[in-house]
Amino acid sequence: MRALLLVFALVLASCAPPPSTADVSSGGGGLNPTQACEAKGGSYRRVCLMGEWSCVMPYKDAGKACTDGDQCEGRQCRLEGSAKPGDSVTGACVRSSDPCGCFGLVEDGKSQGVLCVD
């Protein structure tokens, strides 16, 4: 359940309008959104089916084995492969802050089923 709430929050955050150049320049030293995002190590690009602009940040522990989202910087442990909900599994920490796509979630060492976020 925590994982679904987290994904829902990420989806809502990705729906926010892109920052204007004025928003970013006030704290980014005059950088446009792309430059400000890249300066932080991210990639400013369109995400999901709606194509909203977002600064997608990579996570340092991307791909690390996990059994729960609490073990990951991105707060998501994703199943690589397939399993029935409730099966004991090991997943991998999410690779970036891009919330879009279809993936299985792992919480408390168990498959939570597949979730699709667009």
Task: Determine the pLDDT at residue 30.
Answer: 80
Q: What is the pLDDT of residue 8?
A: 44
pLDDT of residue 10: 45
DSSP string, 18-57: PPPHHHHHHHHTT--HHHHHHHTT-EEEEETTTTEEEEEP
Domain spans, the chain = 2-117
Residue pLDDT, tens place only, 42-59:
999 999 999 999 999 999
User: For residue 98, what are its two tokens?
Assistant: 């891009």
- pTM check: above 0.95: no
Query: Is the per-residue pLDDT at 101 higher than 60?
Result: yes
What is the average pLDDT across 75-83? Answer: 92
The token pair at 79 is 């199943």
Whether 30 and 62 have beta carbons less than 8 Å apart is answered as no
| 12 has pLDDT over 50 | no
